[in-house]
Amino acid sequence: MFEYLKGVVTYVSPAYIVLELNGLGYQLLVANPYRYQEGTTQKIFVHQVVREDAQQLFGFYDLAEKELFLRLISVSGIGPKSGLAILAGNDHQGLQEAIEREDVKFLTKFPGVGKKTAQQMILDLKGKFTAVKGQMDLLQVEDAGLDALGEALAALKALGYGEKEVQSVKKNLSTQTLSTEEYISQGLKWLMKK
């Protein structure tokens, strides 16, 4: 599976962009194509959808946008195109807050989202955005330039440890100077003792 593509944007249309990479032009369906400019080199996170009659690549400006999209399409009644339409609003924080507040009226303003789908979004996604934000902060290791401890904490998150557990590891190991591998090892030992 692809995580991201990095290449030159060669075409921008109202529905998609074309990203050229090693002589191949990839059509990427994106929430806001005009966010990209032709001739620029871009790193675009992608999600591939394979159906009986089509294969499509959906593109995202950053990893946080991709993660939000994946959460949205996990809701019954929201497909990839509806997910993109919701993301096109660019008020991702407002969307998350509306779900947390159970604001059905706000959610039904998105195309293809009726009252039933809005209620399903609230049921499936309420309370999950705090965890996603914590994961996103730790998953963006290369972009944030984290040190060895930060990389180790990201690895512990990826293994499934919760935010509270990871923060307790950080508190206990932050006084030491170790390699990433040693931090992970020490962190796992500490977590097993709890």
Contacts of 148 (CB under 8 A, 6+ apart): 178, 179, 180, 183
For residue 152, CA distances in Å to 54, 62, 78, 131, 174 come to 39, 22, 35, 18, 11
Residue 83 resides in a domain = yes
Residue 42 resides in a domain = yes
Residue 133 resides in a domain = no
Judgement on whether residues 117 and 171 belong to the same structural domain of the protein: no
Q: Read off the tokens for 135.
A: 């994961």
Q: Could you tell me the CATH number of the domain that includes residue 115?
A: 1.10.150.20
Contacts of 61 (CB under 8 A, 6+ apart): 30, 35, 44, 45
Judgement on whether residues 80 and 92 belong to the same structural domain of the protein: yes
User: SS3 of 7, please?
Assistant: strand
pLDDT for res 130: 59
**Is residue 80 within 8 Å of 68, Cβ to Cβ?**
no
Judgement on whether residues 52 and 87 belong to the same structural domain of the protein: no
Judgement on whether residues 55 and 77 belong to the same structural domain of the protein: no
Judgement on whether residues 48 and 103 belong to the same structural domain of the protein: no
For residue 45, CA distances in Å to 2, 7, 58, 98 come to 8, 12, 8, 25
User: SS3 of 126, please?
Assistant: coil
Judgement on whether residues 82 and 54 belong to the same structural domain of the protein: no
Beta-carbon-side half-sphere exposure of residue 89 (alpha carbons within 13 Å):
19
Tens place of pLDDT per residue across the chain (194 aa): 789 999 999 999 988 999 999 999 999 999 889 889 999 999 999 999 998 998 999 999 998 899 999 999 999 999 998 898 888 876 788 888 999 999 999 898 887 889 999 999 999 998 887 544 444 444 443 443 457 788 778 777 766 777 888 888 888 888 888 887 788 888 877 777 66
Judgement on whether residues 78 and 121 belong to the same structural domain of the protein: yes
Judgement on whether residues 24 and 70 belong to the same structural domain of the protein: no
Q: Read off the tokens for 65.
A: 């946008």
User: Could you say which of 72, 95, 127 is where a domain stops?
Assistant: 127
Judgement on whether residues 162 and 120 belong to the same structural domain of the protein: no
Number of domains comprising the chain: 3
Task: Give the number of residues written for the chain.
Answer: 194
Judgement on whether residues 72 and 42 belong to the same structural domain of the protein: no
Residue 132 resides in a domain = no
Residue 34 resides in a domain = yes
Residue 164 resides in a domain = yes
Kindly report whether the global pTM for this prediction surpasses the value 0.85. Answer: no
Judgement on whether residues 40 and 80 belong to the same structural domain of the protein: no
Q: Could you tell me the CATH number of the domain that includes residue 14?
A: 2.40.50.140
User: Could you say which of 99, 127, 155 is where a domain stops?
Assistant: 127
Residue 103 resides in a domain = yes
pLDDT for res 194: 63
Q: Which domain does 69 fall in, by range? A: 64-127
